[in-house]
Structure 1
Amino acid sequence: MICVLMMASGASWESEALARLTKAGGVVVLKRCVDVDDLLATATSGQADVAVVGLDAPGLDTSSVSHLRRYAVRPVAVAMADVDDLDVRSRAERLGITALVAADDLDSLAEVVSRVDDISDTRVRDGDDLPVAAAVPTDEHRIVAIWGPGGAPGRTTLAVSVAAELARRGSPTVLVDADPYGGGVAQQLGILDEVSGLLSAARLAGAGQLGDRFASTTRAVGDHLSVITGLPRADRWIEVRATHLESVLDRAGDVGNVILDTGFCLEDDPGGDFGARPARNAMTLTALAKADEIVVVGAADPVGLSRLARGLVDLREVTGGAPVRVVVNRMRPGLGWSEREIAGMVEGFSRVCGLHFLPDDQSATDRALIAGRSLVESGDGHLVRALGAVVDAIFPASLDGEAPRRGRVRRRFARL
């Protein structure tokens, strides 16, 4: 028995389609959904096999189709125009739908519903969450997420610095501000942008148009660095679904190495699974899940180290096996403990692939912020050299052909 959901959004073909499916053997219409949110919420129950949807239904996008496939609900689209029309087929392909039926020829609907699993694209069967149009990053490009616990330990400053140093070495780099609590990358780099790059990219991803228009969502900062600016206000997080960010990261990976500035909270929201809205921290969790390496930054003071220790424990639940590197920020002699003592603390909470210390240089950081430039652009110094050592460790291939602008900082505690 095939259980079917219908979502026609008031289209004229709904009554005839319902009648034909009701008469067909081996098919039962489980529910007529009023809109996309109702459809996604019902699909989450896991009782449906197929969703018959209007191709032009309001709110139907790639993230909606991905949600259906995540719960093993196979989509069949009813088009108001000829299914052989290039525009109709192009829209269906962008959404990730391969089974099409014309609204004026519903004779084959029951048969298509019964065999949709045989004609669906194998890349999106059995709950696979990749839309058909999704890109796959090239092997030489990596996604690195910069994460840290609450308390402003320096996530954005580190993300901007790593991206800027990598770009300075001639490596194409995309810096993505994916903080769901409000972005700060644009402010740090002095980017005056009335349109959020992330929101623009999310809308294009939802419409299946990100592939061709990705460049329009980025801002060039120098020859090798592109920036996708973050949310203009914290309340706009609801406009970016996890599948949107996945599409953005896949496409960015085609351009170059990807550096992600993330939020601090790792708490999941079960309500986000019901389709009405994304989870608040979905962007952060998606960024960490997609990352090839996670760089955790913590402040060197007692409160910061306590938060870092708890964060490393919490992070183990969501890393998905990606290597974790720790950067201890604002290290200064007056704190009363040595780097080796901090290394012992970190090793007690998590096995990390590397540990680095950044010296406290508030004046250099202030100058960079006021000038709207990265620390790497603001001149040489102990902090900039330490940042260079972090990039050396994360992207060793970037050392090939690098201009000898400064000396190297000794890598510490490689045994971790």
Structure 2
Amino acid sequence: MSTAPIPHNEELRLNDLYSYEILDSSPEEEFNDLVELASLFCRTPISLISLVDRKRQWFKARKGFSKAQTDRSSSFCAHALLGNDVMVIEDAASDIRFAHNPLVTGESRIRFYAGAPIVSPEGYKLGTVCVLDNKPQRFSEIQRKVLELISKQVTKLLELRQKNILIQKKAKESIAYKSQLISRVFHDNEQDKRIIADNLHEDLAQRLVYCIHALGGKSIHQHMDVIRDEMNRILIDLRVLTYTISPLSDENFNPVELIRDFVDRVAVTFPCRIILKQADADDFFHPKVSVNLIRIMEEWLRLLLKKDDLNLVEIEINSTSYSVFVTIKDDGKMVNEFSQKQQERLGIIEERVQMAQGSFSYDHSTEQSVIKIELPLTAENMETIH
């Protein structure tokens, strides 16, 4: 038995074949119809769409043949791949290459074979459309032409099938991305609710109780300055929370003022100085961007509380007609790496920036850490942030 030589471009040919993701796939009516057509025109009991793998030939569609695949070493089709035209073996028993082939001498008893190469658009021969018989026969030019046409139809089906697979993959990826996005939005909203609840209960409510208690005391005049300052800070917090909960009247909020109010409020209780710089920050960007930046800064400031020797935090805001830029520097020393909970906070910051289609960078050393945030000013950003 003569085994077909391996084509010189075998690895490229196999890569092309594998790109169609068709080997070992389920039967498909379109391919089955073509083998029926081949048998009908060529008047043979057996017809196959054969794809030649590294060590086997596998049949995508078959008529009159029970096996789903055979060894490549005994494959007639492996020989057909070496030429460009239809390969015809009128009597395999009389052909020195196939006389001792197990497909000829075994139970299949193949005597006649004709195979047209299936050529991909890249020029690689993936397999054949072939017809077989248990008795010798002649093959006309018309039958050759029909087999060539059917092989071209197989190529078109493979291309169409590959495009459908790509479309399905992209659709699944799109659905998965949208599901992930929706999940993040819900997670984001739940996180916002927890922050709002914490602020209302642990911060605002306690301070209001203090004010009420002080107002009810006998020496109210002694506490008026403290009460006035506390009430002002409460009003600042309420402005931020009001916009967070219901951002309906944008005209009532100056975006930069919103950030300044937040920094002023935090600076009162933060264990070090906080400086807000507005090198080039216009007031025209949307208040929703301010709210998002406030949430990000709040998370980051909580992380900074874990640093030693923290004396100064500088927050710088710049804006253009396209983006808002925030840089936060500090002079504290990071004793240990972030804990798991701190890593989660850092993840929340990154998620917020990502949801707003922005960018986030974090650089730290023993002397200083710097984060840089950019949020684009787009319509989609405005809808995503809240």
TM value normalised by structure 2:
0.24
TM-score by length of 1: 0.22
- Greater fraction helix: 2
Structure showing greater radius of gyration is 2
